[in-house]
Amino acid sequence: MSQGNIGEAPGPTGARRAAGGARPTEEVRTAAAAVLRMIWGVHVSRAVYVVAALGIAELLARGPMTAAQLAQATQAHEPSLYRVLRLLASLGVLTEHEDRSFTLTILGERLRADVPASMRSWAMLVDCGGGMRSFEPIIETVKTGEPGLDIAYGSGLFEFLAAHPDQAQQFQAAMSERTAALAPSVAAGYDFSAMRTVADIGGGKGTLLAAILRAHGHLRGILFDLPSVAADAAALLQAEGVADRCEIVAGDFFQDVPDGADGYVLANVLHDWEDAASVRILSACRRAMAKDGRVLIVERLIPDDPADAVPVLLSDLTMLVITGGKERTNAEYGQLLADAGMTFASVQQVAPPYGIIEGLAP
C-alpha cells in the first residue's frame, strides 16, 4: 500500500488532494470516521463470530483467561486470537485486564449458549449459507429485486435449508433463540381470555405456543408447521408441560391451515414473504378460523421515527437479501389484512420493535 494508513479516516493531506486543496473541517473528519466505522461493520460481525464459534464465551464463563490459555483450549494461533479479543474488548464485549487476561462483560455473556437472551446462535448464523455469502451479490439484488441467496445458491432459503441439514439446524437454533426471548412478552401482552383454541402457524418447535399455553391455562393449542419442523416439537411441548393441551399438525400454510381455532398466531412469518405470498397465508387463516376468530401478527414494526428504525431496517435489508420478504409498517400490515378479507382491529407494542397486530374477519 502507499502512504495512507489502512483503517484511518482520511487525513488532512489526502482530503486536501481530494477536495482541490480545501482543508477538511473537524465536522468533515468526524463524518468520515463515522462512515468508515459503517464500512468496517462486517469486521465486528466476524470477530463476534470467532468468539461464538470457538466457544470462547463458554470458556470465559469459568473465569479470567489469557489469550495463550484460550488459544491452547481452542487450538488457535495465539497472536491472531489476541488481536480479535483485543478488538472485542475495545467494543465492550470483553474486558482486558493488566495481565492480558480477558473476562466477559454483559454483552459477552450473550454469546454463551445457556443464558437468558442468548445471541450465540445468531452469531453463528452469520456464517450460515444464508448469511455472508448471500450479501455478496447485493448489487444484483438491488438492480433486479432477486434475493442474494437465490443468486448465490440457485434456490430460495427454505429449499437451501432442506438440502443442507446442518445449516437448517443452525437456522432453527437461531429462530428458537429469538422466539424464546420474545415469547413471554407475547404471552403477557395480549388478552387471550376470550379464546378457547389458539393455532400457532409456522410455529417451529413450539416455543411461543408453549409460553402462551403456560400463561393461559384455559387454552388449547395447535402447532402447525412443515413436517420436517413439526417433528421436533413434541419433545419441547412435553418438557414445557403443555403437551396434553396441544395438537401438532404438519402441513403447508400456503394451502390450508387447521380449521376452527379462535386465534391464528403468525409470529415472524409474514416478514419472510413478499406481499402476494403473505396475503395467501392470511387468506388460508381467514378461511379456517372460527366465527368471530382473529389473526395475531407478531412482527417487528417499522416505526415512524427514523432514529428508532435502525434495528428494524437492518432486519428489512436482511429480508431483502435472504428471503425476498420485508419488514412493514402498521399501515402495510393493515393493507395485507384488507387484501385477505380481514380488518385491522388493533396493534399492541410488546418488546419493541415487536408489535401484535390483530386482524378480524368482517
Cite the active site residues. 271
Nearest to 302 by CA among 268, 333, 339, 327: 327
Grid cell, residue 224, equals 402447525
Q: Are strands 354-360 and 294-300 parallel, antiparallel or unpaired?
A: antiparallel
Give the integer Cα–Cα distance in Å for 273 and 328. Answer: 11
Please name the residues in contact with 182: beta carbons below 8 A apart, sequence gap of 6 or more: 208, 267, 298, 350, 351, 354
Q: Say how far apart CA 141 and CA 135 lie, in whole Å.
A: 9
Minimal CA–CA distance to 357: which of 288, 282, 255, 277? 282
Q: Choose among 270, 136, 138, 257: nearest CA to 200.
A: 257
Cis peptide leading into residue 353 (ω within 30°): yes
Count of positions (residues) in the chain: 362
Task: Give residue 336's Cα distance to chain centre.
Answer: 22
